Amino acid sequence: MSKRDYYEILGIDRSATDPEVKKAYRRIAMKFHPDRNPDDQDADHKFKEATEAYDVLMNKEKRAAYDQFGHAGVDQSMGGGGGFQGGGFSDIFGDVFGDIFGGGGGGRRGPQRGSDLRYTLEISLEEAVRGTTTEIKVPSLQHCSTCDGSGAKPGSSPISCGGCGGSGQVRMQQGFFQVQQTCPQCRGRGKTISDPCGDCRGQGLVEKTKTLSVKVPPGVDTGDRIRLSGEGEAGPAGGPAGDLFVQMSVRQHPLFERDGRHLFCEVPINFVDAALGGELEVPTLDGKVKLKIPSETQTGKMFRLRGKGVQPVRGGPIGDLMCRAVVETPVNLSAEQKQLLEQLRSTLTEGGNEQSPRQHGWFEGVKSFFDGMTK
């Protein structure tokens, strides 16, 4: 049966660079490695096929011969199933398979580090701006106090694994080459437990809930993370604990919206103050301040209160508070108020277009639009 094109196998162009070849092979090897696909003959075939392609295309001489003569140019140099020549696979193993085996070197691995954890902490906008200290309760796997994390019943100890001789790794023949993989009997620990601890059932870990104090610095925002080193899950077989990442989530505020270091809010203004001008009290996170409203203020006008925003957690100038004016139409008018407004409307009509320039401009635009449709 004819062999597939090596470039096609790896899904790359014939002009691919060495890093591109390595990246493509890494993706395929991670997907189809026999350790991850036990008893899957198709995956085993694809893995071997990709490995063969990688060995040729990462070797300058072999690649040149393959590009010129195809498979006939490299079949001799590949050998007859006696393994890769020139130590090619050892390079692949140490460089590409590190994520699968936890490192390409031989010998027993050290204690494994525990998993990192993430905790979402919801805080108010005021707490995010000013900073706060709060307590959180985090469930996680911790070392069993009964066996001190060993997994063995008190008075006994784990014994060296007979399957790997205590190395935590075993070598297996995979067709024309050998691979080193985690020992299936001890799962890489190098030791087995004949008399397991009754509290943790030999795992060395039990689930516990611990209370931690979290200091939130001023200026944090949604998505920021605080790292608590060593507060994640404990590692198996007495390994070190991972880290806890506390992710911030700032609750929606009834008055303010935050955009980086700036705050935004809407300020309703009655139409008399908007027309004649006035003064309003507006809220800030530091208390109330006076805001002067100029006459003829329109909806959408922005007022900037400098230094009333947020001090960014990573430094930089304090932001501003941006107040957007919203002119409010009065409701529930009395008969007298309606009469006064009718009088005002009549005087505004007599005043022509100068007192409602935006309205006049809008009607002129509408007229031009329809005139253009009739032409």
Query: pLDDT per residue over 364-373, tens digit each?
Result: 676 676 666 6
DSSP labels, 7-19: HHHHT--TT--HH
pLDDT of residue 327: 93
Classify the phi-psi angles of 64: left when phi > 0, otherwise alpha if psi is within -120 to 50, otherwise beta. Answer: alpha
Q: Are residues 226 and 286 in the same domain?
A: no
Report if residue 52 sits inside a domain: yes
186 occurs within a structural domain: yes
Q: Which helix (H) or strand (E) holds 137?
A: strand 132-143
CATH code of the domain covering residue 130 = 2.60.260.20
Give the gyration radius of the chain's Cα atoms.
36
> pTM for the whole thing?
0.57
Q: Which secondary-structure segment (H or E) carries 122? A: strand 117-123
Whether 184 and 283 share a structural domain? no
Do 204 and 180 lie in a common domain? no
Looking at the structure of the chain, the number of domains it has is 4
Please compute the mean of the pLDDT values over residues 4-30 and round it to a whole number: 89
Same domain, 118 and 241: yes
Closest by CA position to 136, among listed 247, 23, 263, 21: 247
Same domain, 123 and 244: yes
- Per-residue pLDDT of 192-234, as tens digits, reads 888 888 888 878 888 889 999 999 999 999 999 999 999 998 8
Mode of pairing for the β-strands spanning 262-270 and 321-328: parallel
pLDDT in tens, 127-186: 999 999 999 999 988 888 888 878 888 888 888 887 787 777 887 766 556 677 788 877
At 158 the pLDDT is 84
Q: Are 219 and 92 in contact (CB under 8 A)?
A: no
Say if residue 239 is in the same domain as residue 310.
no
Q: Tokens 């701006």 map to which residue?
A: 129
Query: What tokens does 28 get?
Result: 């395929």
Give percent above pLDDT 90 in the chain.
38
User: pLDDT band for position 190 (50/70/90)?
Assistant: confident
Angle at 105 between CA 104 and CA 107, to 5 degrees: 135
Please tell me the distance from the alpha carbon of residue 43 to that of residue 41, in angstroms, as a whole number.
5
Lowest mean per-residue pLDDT among 6-10, 108-112, 296-300: 108-112
Q: Is 159 helix (H, G, I), strand (E, B) or coil?
A: strand
Distance between CA 89 and CA 87 in Å, rounded? 6
CATH code where residue 69 lies:
1.10.287.110
- Asked if 143 and 214 sit in the same domain, the reply is yes
| Alpha-carbon span 320 to 316, nearest angstrom | 13
Q: Which residues contact 289 (CB under 8 A, 6 or more apart)?
A: 281, 282, 305, 308
**Is residue 301 situated within a structural domain?**
yes
Task: Name residue, tokens 């096609």.
Answer: 8
> Rounded to the nearest 5 degrees, what angle is found at the Cα of 358, between the Cα atoms of 357 and 361?
85
Model confidence at 105, pLDDT cuts 50, 70, 90, reads: very low
DSSP-assigned beta bridge partners for residue 179: 172
Average pLDDT over residues 282-294: 93
Higher pLDDT, 291 or 177: 291
Phi, psi of 250 (to 5 degrees): -90, 125
Same-domain check for residues 64 and 164: no
* Tokens (6 digits) for 114: 């525990």
In a domain, 347, yes or no: no
List, for residues 47-71, the tens digit of each pLDDT value.
888 888 998 999 888 898 888 878 8
**Residue 279: is its pLDDT beyond 90?**
yes
- Boundaries of domain holding 188: 159-192
Express each pLDDT in 315-347 by its tens digit: 889 999 999 999 999 999 999 999 998 888 888
Angle, CA of 299, 305 and 310, to the nearest 5°: 115
Tokens of 99: 């994520």
Mean pLDDT of 244-251: 94
Question: Quick check: is 360 in a domain?
Answer: no
121 pLDDT band, cuts 50/70/90, is: very high
pLDDT band at residue 101 using 50, 70 and 90 as cut-offs? very low
Asked if residue 85 has pLDDT above 50, the reply is no
Q: Say how many C-beta atoms besides its own lie within 10 A of residue 216's C-beta.
A: 20
Distance CA 1, CA 43 (A): 18
- What local confidence, expressed as pLDDT, does residue 165 receive? 78
> Is residue 363 scored above 80 in pLDDT?
no
CA–CA gap between residue 282 and residue 305 (Å, rounded)? 10
- Concatenate the DSSP letters of all residues of 88-118 into one string: HHHHHHHHHTHHHHTSS--S---PPPPPPEE
